[in-house]
Amino acid sequence: MIAADGGLGIVATQRAVLTENGPLVLASGAQLPHVEVAYETYGALSPSRDNAVFVCHALTGDAHAAGWHEGARRPGWWDNLIGPGRAVDTDRYFVIAANLLGGCSGTTGPLSIDPATGRPYGADFPALDMADFVSAHRGLLDHLGVDRLHAAVGGSLGGMQVLEWALQEPDRIDRAVLVAASSRLTTENIAFSAVARAAILEDPDFRDGRYFEHGVTPRHGLKVARMMAHITYVSELSLAEKFGHRRDTAGHDKRLAADFEVEHYLQHQGESFLDRFDALSYLHLTRPMDYFDPFGAHQGVVPSTRFELISFDTDWRFPTAHSVRIRDQLAARGAAVEHAELTSPWGHDSFLLEPDGYHDRVRAFLS
């Protein structure tokens, strides 16, 4: 059913068990005996099963990429890209979006029940690698009976997953779209994530990762982590145009409290994040990004995948140099790869929005 806004209308999240034939073995050698993945699908799989497009989400995304959940106030996080007639056209493609392993939106993660103890894993949840995210994606494809992807599409951490997957299974993905992605974080990127994790780990309510046993959550630490991270997702231009130096001048002197409008905005971002994300998932999903170095891990692999790389001129979290590195590494291996830097005022978050030319490039490449 097409919605009044031309989108997908009401959609629902589904769940698949990936470990019916044995545990999921992680890159570290640790095993997860029971793994469920939350996912959504849009469109119909063709009789020849050759029109599947897998969507990989960024750090704090989930399986709800498009359409509307019953009673929701907003659509899925990439609804402007996915739907009937849109760049990822659900009239043509069977689109699969899945929540990451280690997440907190329906896929097995730190707050899931450990079958060995009957209690949530908590701090005992095993460390993850980018390869583990892909292992879960692969398991979901097998569950759905999809042998090969027409395309895989991801922004930010989602693009990193797509790159890892294309190097792991060089013949399974026909096309790959990597938007505002990286193949190796800079020291500055790692530093930002280190501060965010420290805010969580040093919150008194973290309780060595056992906060759920004490009926508390490290709200302050998670809020600060999100506030700081959000600054890196936007651009200096977008913040200046939206807030400038405007202040909340009502009431008493606020020199030691939130005063500028941008401060209130970040407070709101931090508070709203607490309603939808878990601190342990934040820790487990940020760390694999620090260690990600797929060209070092998969030396000599020549993917048959065709790559489209897109970066944005105001993105200072994963600036264009990151995409250029991916382009050069792939080209050196003989892979077919194109890159475009697009103009956008919105910084890293541009991959979620509609800068000029962005959706047109995705549409043309998938076609």
Catalytic residues: 156, 315, 348
Spatial CB neighbours of 122, under 8 Å, sequence gap ≥ 6: 110, 111, 209, 210, 212, 213, 280
Spatial CB neighbours of 172, under 8 Å, sequence gap ≥ 6: 147, 148, 149, 165
Give the number of other Cβ atoms within 10 Å of residue 117's Cβ. Answer: 10
Nearest CA-CA partner of 235 in 148, 112, 317:
317
The rounded Cα 343 to chain-centroid distance in angstroms is 22
Spatial CB neighbours of 222, under 8 Å, sequence gap ≥ 6: 199, 200, 203, 270, 273, 274, 277, 279, 282
The three-point CA angle 297-145-105 to 5° equals 70
> And the tokens for 331?
């080209």
Measured distance CA(180)–CA(317) in Å, rounded: 9
| 307 and 167 Cβ atoms separated by less than 8 Å | no
3-state DSSP call for residue 355? coil
> And the tokens for 279?
């601190």
Measured distance CA(73)–CA(135) in Å, rounded: 33
> And the tokens for 23?
């545990």
> Any known ligand binding at 175?
no
> Any known ligand binding at 15?
no
Residue 342's φ and ψ, nearest 5 degrees, are -110, 150
Nearest CA-CA partner of 309 in 334, 331, 285, 287:
331
3-state DSSP call for residue 73? coil
- What is the full DSSP assignment across 242-305? HHTT-B--SSS--TTS--BHHHHHHHHHHHHHHTT--HHHHHHHHHHHHH--HHHHTTT-----
Residue 41's φ and ψ, nearest 5 degrees, are -130, 150
Q: Name the DSSP letter for residue 10.
A: B
Query: Which amino acids are annotated as binding site for substrate, given as ranges?
Result: 226, 349
> Binding site, residues?
226, 349
